[in-house]
A and B are shown apart, each in its own frame.
Chain A
Amino acid sequence: MEGPPPNPEALFAALNQCGVDAVLVGGMAVYLHGGNNITMDMDIAFLRTKENYEKLADALELLEARPVRWRAPKWRLDQIDLVSGWLHLTSTAGQIDLLAKHPGIEYGELRETALDKEIGDTHLTLASIDALIKMKSAAGRERDAAHLELLRAAKQALETSPDDPDDPVNGP
């Protein structure tokens, strides 16, 4: 494992401190929705405006983030770094993937449907299960199939109340 384990609490503490408009997506979001998948990094989707890029750059500096094989002593995010739509970084909060493109859903809908969660003392913005299903379905990668299965199970778990009298496992 390269660098510290993923720490969404530390990541969002920095994002919040700098006022970044961003949403946690990907495998870590699947995990936090109830999945048992293990992931090495945290995927972040964000509002792509000049102002938000600058705030994101500030937050990444707080986390000492940089591309894995970046040789210069300092690195600061530039919009050109995300021309491919994706950027992988190491940081004091663990590995971060910045996603400038996310097939299946626009950022507006992703942000609007996101959930507010607390992790420790930190406020975290977590993509909804439905949004993640849209993204994973559109990506169509082999590894997303397992995540889709977990997301559908997580959704079913939420829809089936533990107090359901017809549920012999969790019901009264």
Chain B
Amino acid sequence: MEGEMLYDSLDESVLDDRQKARLKALRIAMDPWLSQVERCRENQAKPLALRMKEHDAALKTLEILRNGRTAS
């Protein structure tokens, strides 16, 4: 309860740059929407051929999970 009150009353203008950056990183880590942005950014940095290898591997895993056998 005390922590919630502290967070609610937090005045970001009193934070130094390091604290602001840490707080922002924490929000990114905790927000599923922003985490998805991070995943997209990581994927965009990979060559498409590598992405396709990953896609094939994911399809095979999915097939095994669904049918208990390897995809043809």
Contacts from A to B (Cβ < 8 Å): 1, 3-9, 31-36, 38, 40, 117-120, 124, 149-150, 153-154, 156-158, 160, 162, 166-170
Contacts of B49 in A (CB 8 A): 9, 119-120
A1-B63, A160-B37 known; A31 vs B22 contact (CB < 8 Å): no
Known pairs A38-B62, A170-B41 / 18 extra A-B pairs, C-beta < 8 Å: A1-B72, A4-B72, A5-B60, A6-B55, A31-B51, A34-B39, A34-B42, A35-B40, A36-B39, A36-B43, A118-B48, A119-B48, A119-B52, A153-B33, A154-B44, A157-B44, A168-B21, A168-B22
Query: Could you count the A-B residue pairs with CB atoms below 8 Å apart for me: how many are there?
Result: 78
Is the beta-carbon distance between A157 and B62 smaller than 8 angstroms?
no
Contacts of B25 in A (CB 8 A): 168-169
Binary per-residue interface labels of chain B (13-36) against chain A in the complex, 1 for a CB within 8 Å, 0 otherwise: 000000001101100100001001
Is the beta-carbon distance between A32 and B21 smaller than 8 angstroms?
no
- In the bound assembly, the distance between CA atoms of A153 and B43 in angstroms comes to 12
Query: Nearest 7 pairs between A and B by C-beta?
Result: A34-B40, A168-B21, A157-B41, A34-B43, A157-B40, A119-B48, A168-B25
Interface size class of B (residues with CB under 8 A): 20 to 34
Is the beta-carbon distance between B55 and A153 smaller than 8 angstroms?
no
Contacts of B24 in A (CB 8 A): 166-168
- In the bound assembly, the distance between CA atoms of A124 and B51 in angstroms comes to 14
Q: Which residue of A lies closest to B72 (CB)?
A: A1
Nearest Cβ on chain A to B41's Cβ, whole angstroms = 4
Is the beta-carbon distance between B63 and A34 smaller than 8 angstroms?
no
- In the bound assembly, the distance between CA atoms of A9 and B55 in angstroms comes to 13
Is the beta-carbon distance between A34 and B52 smaller than 8 angstroms?
no
Contacts of B48 in A (CB 8 A): 32, 117-119, 124
Is the beta-carbon distance between A157 and B51 smaller than 8 angstroms?
no
Is the beta-carbon distance between B21 and A7 smaller than 8 angstroms?
no
